[in-house]
Amino acid sequence: MKIPFVDQWRKRHGNAPLVVSGPGAEDGTDAAGVAELLAECELLRAQAEDAGVELDDSVASLAALDQLVPRWREDEDVLHWLGNDAGLYLGTIMVHHVAGAAWVIWPNGQPVVRLASGREIDVVEAGHAWAESGAPELSQFYAEAAES
């Protein structure tokens, strides 16, 4: 994922992970802007809306997504982008609702969620797994992460 200001930050700070939201957010970053960018998830929101599901950034919306009929599995391009969006949406919910959770951008540009325990979760990988097979369910993944 290419985020222009992250490239500029990397030029100044090397390969350290960039904390963009929550505790430890880097000075000078537009944390709200990055979090908003990561939360867009346009394809996922369109798919959900077509199915009558409102994505309101609540934990309950993850369970509603788990109930969608996976018609996207027939189209490789849609599957890939929907997996990205599902992961970013999952991460957005975690950052909003799990105490101490924060977005972190790894040196390779991959956004992950860092929990208060220090555990880093590759939510995009989880989103791809959900889009491809439905397992783990997003709501289940969230519940397990919220407990740790």
Cβ within 8 Å of residue 17, ≥6 positions away: 104, 105, 106, 107
Q: How far apart are CA 136 and CA 38, in angstroms?
A: 21
pLDDT digits (tens, 9 = 90+) for 76-112: 999 999 999 999 999 999 999 999 999 998 888 899 9
pLDDT band at 62 (very low <50, low <70, confident <90, very high): very high
| Total-model pTM | 0.83
Contact 95, 101 (CB under 8 A): yes
Contact 79, 132 (CB under 8 A): yes
